[in-house]
Amino acid sequence: MKKPVSIPLRAGRTLWLALGAGVIPALAALVAQYGFRQPLLPEWVLLAVEIAAAVMLLGGMLGTEVTRKTALPRRTAVFELILLGVLLVLLFFLVEYRRQVFHLFLLVLVAVRIGRLVVQTMAGGFAPTRMLLTSFISVILIGAMLLMLPASHPAGEEISFTDALFTSTSATCVTGLVVKDTGGDFSRWGQVIILSLIQLGGLGIMIFGALFALLTGARLSLRESSAMQDIGVQEAPGRMAQTVMFICLFTLTIEAIGAVSMVGMWQTDPQRGGQWFKSAFHAVSAFCNAGFSLQADNLEKYRFSARVYLVIAPLIIVGGLGFPVLRNLYDWAMYRFRFRRIPSRLRTQPVRLTLHTKIVLTTTGILLAAGWLVLVAVQLTRPDAGREGFTLSTLLDGWFNSVTARTAGFNTVDIAGRSAGGKLVLVLLMAIGGSPGSTAGGMKTITLAVLILSVMATLRRHLQVQAFRRSIPLMIIRQAAMVLILYGLGLWLITLLLTMTEHSLGADMLDLLFEAASALGTVGLSTGVTSGLTTAGKWVIMAAMLIGRLGPLSLLAALSAGSPPARYEYPSENLIVS
315 found inside a domain: no
The confidence score (pLDDT) of residue 8 equals 40
- Residue 578 to residue 565: CA distance in whole angstroms: 31
443 found inside a domain: no
Least confident range of 37-51, 324-338, 411-425: 37-51
User: In angstroms, what CA-CA distances link 362 with 200, 313, 376?
Assistant: 29, 18, 21
Are 214 and 244 in contact by the 8 Å Cβ rule? The answer is yes
User: In angstroms, what CA-CA distances link 334 with 5, 139, 237, 249, 262?
Assistant: 38, 37, 21, 16, 28
Sign of the CA dihedral running 496, 497, 503, 507: negative
Which has the higher per-residue pLDDT, 529 or 155?
A: 529
Whether the pLDDT of residue 446 is over 50: the answer is yes
Least confident range of 32-41, 60-69, 431-440: 60-69
Whether the pLDDT of residue 565 is over 70: the answer is no
Residue 241: CB atoms within 10 Å: 20
Which has the higher per-residue pLDDT, 150 or 59?
A: 150
167 found inside a domain: yes
In sequence order, which residues have a C-beta less than 8 Å from that of residue 145 and are 6 or more positions away?
164
Output Rg (C-alpha) for the chain, integer angstroms.
25
521 found inside a domain: no
Which has the higher per-residue pLDDT, 43 or 526?
A: 526
Whether the pLDDT of residue 183 is over 80: the answer is yes
- Residue 120 to residue 132: CA distance in whole angstroms: 13
Number of domains in the chain: 1
Q: How many CA atoms lie within 13 A of 301 on its CB side?
A: 9
Confidence of residue 10 (pLDDT cuts 50, 70, 90): very low
Confidence of residue 90 (pLDDT cuts 50, 70, 90): low
Biggest CA–CA distance in the chain, Å, is 82
Alpha carbon distance, N-terminus to C-terminus of the chain: 66
Whether the pLDDT of residue 334 is over 50: the answer is yes
Please state at what angle helix 323-338 crosses helix 240-262, rounded to 10 degrees: 90
- The rounded mean pLDDT for the chain is 78
469 phi-psi bin (left φ>0, alpha ψ -120 to 50, beta other): left
pLDDT, average across residues 175-196: 89
pLDDT, average across residues 316-335: 87
- Residue 205 to residue 213: CA distance in whole angstroms: 12
Q: What is the pLDDT of residues 342-369, one digit of tens each?
A: 555 545 567 788 899 999 999 999 999 9
Please state at what angle helix 535-550 crosses helix 474-501, rounded to 10 degrees: 170
The confidence score (pLDDT) of residue 6 equals 39
**Residue 146 sits in which domain range?**
9-292
149 found inside a domain: yes
How would you class 130 by CB atoms within 10 Å of its CB: exposed for 0-12, middle for 13-18, buried for 19 or more?
middle
Q: What is the DSSP letter of 238?
A: G
Three-state DSSP at 305 gives coil
377 found inside a domain: no
386 found inside a domain: no
Cα of 320 vs its chain's centroid, Å: 10
Q: What is the pLDDT of residues 210-236, one digit of tens each?
A: 666 666 656 666 666 665 655 556 665
Residue type, 439: T
Q: What is the pLDDT of residues 120-144, one digit of tens each?
A: 666 665 666 777 778 888 889 989 9
Cα of 361 vs its chain's centroid, Å: 20
24 found inside a domain: yes
